[in-house]
Amino acid sequence: MRKLDTILIQLFLIFLFITSAVIDYTKTAEATEQLTVEGVWEVISVSLDSDKSYIGNRISIARQGARYQIQRLNSNDSWYCTGNDRRIAYTKMELLFSPTDELGGNRIPVSIAQKFAGQQVPMNTYYTLSADGNYLTIESETKLYYWDTNTATGEISNFRYEIKLANNNKVLKRISGTSKEEVPSQHAYKADCGMVDPNKPTSLPPDHEYCSGNLTAMTYFCGGDMGCPYVCCPKGLPYLNHCDCKCYAASDFDCHSYSYCREKLLK
């Protein structure tokens, strides 16, 4: 009987151990699933010496509808990507090549350059979240060219090209913005200024008219421009963070660059 009791106790302890491990794994999995590419990121390493000047630069990534906006925090440059919470891509059309492109020190034959002059191909830059959600890897595609040359006649034939990931990765570390369930916030959006002349600065009419029922800030961050320098925030979230273009209830976020959005005036 005593031996049976010992076996039952051992089985119970094993059950508790397995249950605890499953619970811990589930919690970890749930936390990881909440992490997204959104946030503020800083370049901490590069694979090429020529890219070392990028170290320390920061970008913000913020979802806007079905797209993701990336903005350089040391300038007003921004662009849009498509993808999901874990990986996004920026796509642009580039010329297949120009007559001055080189490969291995040999210029692309003029006959090929002329034949394919003006042809464009899509090139992608990928932003991929690490498994733990704390790092982001940037990888860009490059073009490789191949052709055959008749050694007797010099005739060029069988031209082909390949698009593949280049060996020029950048690794970024998360500075702020950790999950979908972080501090309550909402993306700001450009105000509706109606018909404006984009070649002339706004004469600064009552900006509260442009954000119906919401708060407003005059800024060139997060969508404002010369024609309509107004950005809207929802009521109750008056702090427009310039780094991720979200509106917050208070200014106690990591990036202390923001505009205070004023409430719509009552007539």
Single residue among 176, 205, 240 that ends a domain in this structure: 176
| 103 SS3 class | strand
Confidence check: pLDDT of 93 > 80: yes
| 34 SS3 class | helix
Residues 6+ apart with CB under 8 A from 79: 69, 70, 90
Shared domain check, 107 and 169: yes
∠163-168-173 over CA atoms, to 5°?
125
| 5 SS3 class | helix
Shared domain check, 100 and 58: yes
Single residue among 122, 155, 176 that ends a domain in this structure: 176
Rounded to whole angstroms, how far apart are CA atoms 65 and 223?
Answer: 14
Domain that holds residue 263: 183-267
Residue 137 within any structural domain of the chain: yes
pLDDT of res. 9: 60
pLDDT above 90 coverage of the chain, percent: 23
Shared domain check, 136 and 47: yes
Residue 18 within any structural domain of the chain: no
Is-contact 67 76, C-beta < 8 A? no
Q: How many domains does the chain have?
A: 2
Confidence check: pLDDT of 22 > 60: no
Shared domain check, 172 and 111: yes
Single residue among 143, 176, 209 that ends a domain in this structure: 176
State mean pLDDT over 187-210.
63
